[in-house]
Chains A and B, each alone.
Chain A
Amino acid sequence: MSPTLAPALAPTLEIRDLNVSIGDVPILKGVSFDVPPGQVMGLVGESGSGKSMTALAVMGLLPPRSEASGDIQLQGGAVPYADDTAMRSVRGREVGMIFQEPMTALNPLMTIGDQVAETIRVHTRASHKAALATAARMLERVGLPNDQFPLSRFPHELSGGQRQRVAIAIAIALTPKLLIADEPTTALDVTTQAQILSLLKTLIREDGMGMILITHDLAVVAETADRVAVMKSGEIVEQGEVGQMLAKQGSGGMVHPYSRRLLADATHAPVRRSKPREGAPVLVVDGIVREYPGVGRMFGRGAPKRAVDGVSFSIQPGESVGLVGESGCGKSTLLRTVLALDTPQAGSVTVMGEDFTRARGADLKRLRRHVQVVFQDPYGSFDPRWRVEQLVAENFHLLDERPDRIEGRRRVEAMLDQVGLSPADADRFPHEFSGGQRQRIAIARALITNPSIIALDEAVSALDVSIRAQVLDLLADLSDRMGLSYLFVTHDLTVVRAITDRLMVMQGGRIVETGPTEAIFTAPSHDYTRSLLAATPDLARNILALDNPGGHHSTPQETER
């Protein structure tokens, strides 16, 4: 921690001129960086930029048929990354790794104690008993004390954040020299993310480990890392201390246009010209209650679980409303009810003045035209066997008079043009498009019936920042031109701040706070909203903090550039 100590120490990890190619395709080009002990090196970049590949190279886990050259030194010793047998003693012992998905990183059939102990026993001659004792100590260190979380727990008995803690305990069990965390918090809620990041920081400071933090989120880097390297197409375009790199323009800052652009995209807020209009609301949600039957027991059932508990709100024409909350708060259930995919036990949804919840047959079809949806996963939201033309035209099913083939094709082409794709794309299959392009197709599908409101279920969460900025611009533009209303359902507060007029915060099936977006961000009134905002890595706030160094974190290394 102390700046006077660090410069004397040699870097934990030194990577020099690392090149990796698969066939003729270069994946990494001349990657070089150092990770000093007790410090966090943030690797940022968009998908496919080579950040994960760099980590895999250090672990000696490069894909088969890939060719690598370059020098990787771990505390002065060369890492035999090309030699799988030799790497076995390095992995886990010298270098620990934490993955994104804590659900799949753990073995569901083994207790958490056994899983940590197993890692220890693979590399040492410790007895089972001794290994379990170490495991208990490690779990305690990552915040899973034994009296509350006995070693005999199974992964399914833990929450996502607790599972990630177990994964961290496994990674640090043998006090490795280096920790690699690949998007360790992307699958977690913001409050959990904040806890895990601070845990990781504490651990590496205490043990003097180096850490590589791979993330697409500049805000996470700003909050956690000491140094940052920006990667693009297999190259490090720029690296340096976080304080210098992310500080306000003028006082150093990033010089490479790509990193500047990455920073701009991450905080991008589209320009919206239209304002919500007065008049009859397009959507009125009144007192929705949705319960799920309790868990089946030998006799009868447990108490029903109330996922949505008396939620009411309305959306004006042209208004953009955000619905935020952590996983399990009931926002997805509420969305399904709003879309009339699920029938509530009480309450109603009214669309354009008509009851949507109880509409059937032709009435339901007519109302569905007005309410459409864009889903999160740009990969799962299309039938892989359908062409774009069929996919976009699927909603013609809602029209009383379906257009004939030629007219239908014309309308699909016009709509593809509207969302920034080319008419010829109609003949292609969804797998031929990138994630951002697929979200455009999804938007075209939602728009084809000329709806009044579109629900966006985490619709930009899976996209890279530059693509996300483009899609947000498109949405703002469409809203201006067509007077569309949006309901943004998301956990990502940066997105709602950028594009919504009004914000609703949901917790435990209820809306705990609602108001104009900016007002909530500047002066949240509910405790939960405050904790949510505090936990969210906020790039702007962090940059401000970096500009006024007052103990955020010291940066002992000189910038090498």
Chain B
Amino acid sequence: MTAPVVDRPDTAAPAAKAPLRLPPALIVGGVMTLVTIAVALVSLFWTPFDVEAIRIGDKLMAPSAAHWMGTDHFGRDVLSMIMVGSQTSLVVALVAVGIGAGIGVPLGLAAAARGGLVDDAVMRTNDLIFAFPALLLAVMITAVFGAGAINAVIAIGIFNIPVFARVSRGAALSLWTRDYVLAARTAGKTSGQISRQHILPNLTSLLVVQAAIQFALGIVAEAGLSYVGLGAQPPIPSWGRMLAEAQTMIGFAPWLAIFPGVAIVFVVLGLSLTGDGLRDALDPRVRRERGA
């Protein structure tokens, strides 16, 4: 008999990747999000009507072939306003997520890497921000600096900081116990270097998912702030303010409230589905359960 071949049964799966099966939520959500972004981009160059032109003669027209979503009490085209409003929503939410992740993730990484006093300081400050009513802070900021889209961005961004800090600290703490982090320490690397080279790259998928969710929440928050008059100021169109202005006319011009409302739901649903789908696609455990 020939010598037995050394068994290598634990050889990992061959490098060839299994065909990528995207979760349905990601496909549906991704399409919805892409449509929103496309609309915002188109509105930069073209809208059916000028959103700042006031035509009192056309005021409060029901949806028609000329005005697909009707007109408001100044005769402005609702479709055009929603298209331009999508810019405000997306930009405000995007910048707010950027602020939250840009400040929150480094704070969370530092808290996990340093522990002790740094950890306590970061996490207790987070708790403080969490405990503070978001709207109150927004009112405070706008009271001091004046109402406007930029201040809305700052207010929403500040509330994103603790979310990102918490998520990244929690995940980073578990990564810090890995042997490859110990190996990096025996390679003489500082905690900053390890956070940058080993921890952050392994958090990416988690942070992308969280960003998608915070993005959706940011759009709702922007609409809320605009609704109470603390967001983008006229004449910049904003979905939240459109809702607020439609309030008094809802009895005889319901389309003024319906279309901005549907727009908000559409975008938020799209982003939430994208977030869920990304989590499923990026989380190997879920992926395995799906049998991909």
Contacts and interface: CB of A to CB of B under 8 A. Distances in A.
Given A49-B9, A381-B179, A382-B180, A368 B188 contact: yes
A383 B187 contact: no
Contact of B184 (A376, A394, A431): A394
B34 interface: no
B131 interface: no
Interface string A95-133: 000000000000000000000000000000000000000
Interface in B152-199: 178-180, 182-189, 197-198
Given A385-B202, A428-B15, A395 B187 contact: yes
A434 interface: yes
Interface residues of A, number: 44
Contacts of A339: 186
A381 B180 contact: yes
A507 interface: no
Interface in A371-390: 371-373, 375-377, 380-385
Contacts of A442: 183
Contacts of B197: 383
A466 B7 contact: yes
A435 B179 contact: no
Contacts of B6: 466, 470
B109 to A, nearest CB: 15
Given A257-B4, A432-B12, A398 B182 contact: no
A494 interface: no
Interface in A445-497: 445, 464, 466, 470
Contacts of A233: 7, 9
Contacts of A49: 7, 9
Interface residues of B, number: 28
B3 interface: yes
B1 to A, nearest CB: 6
Contacts of A398: 187-188
Contact of A373 (B4, B11, B15, B183): B183
A383 B184 CA distance: 10
A179 B33 CA distance: 55
Nearest to A449: B187
Given A257-B1, A364-B188, A380 B7 contact: no
A258 B4 CA distance: 6
Contact of B186 (A341, A432, A436, A470): A341
A365 B188 contact: yes
Nearest to B1: A257
B4 A435 contact: no
A433 interface: yes
A433 B10 CA distance: 8
Contact of A394 (B4, B179, B187): B187
B201 interface: yes
B3 A257 contact: yes
B8 interface: yes
A366 to B, nearest CB: 9
Contacts of A365: 188
A530 interface: no
A232 B7 contact: yes
Contact of A375 (B1, B8, B182, B198): B182
Interface string B1-38: 10110111111110100000000000000000000000
12 contacts: A49-B7, A232-B7, A233-B7, A365-B188, A368-B187, A380-B178, A380-B180, A382-B183, A394-B189, A397-B189, A433-B11, A464-B10
Given A394-B184, A394-B189, 5 more contacts: A65-B291, A257-B4, A383-B180, A432-B12, A470-B6
Interface of B: 1, 3-4, 6-13, 15, 178-180, 182-189, 197-198, 201-202, 291
Interface of A: 46-49, 64-65, 232-233, 257-258, 261, 339, 341, 364-365, 368, 371-373, 375-377, 380-385, 394-395, 397-398, 428, 431-436, 442, 445, 464, 466, 470
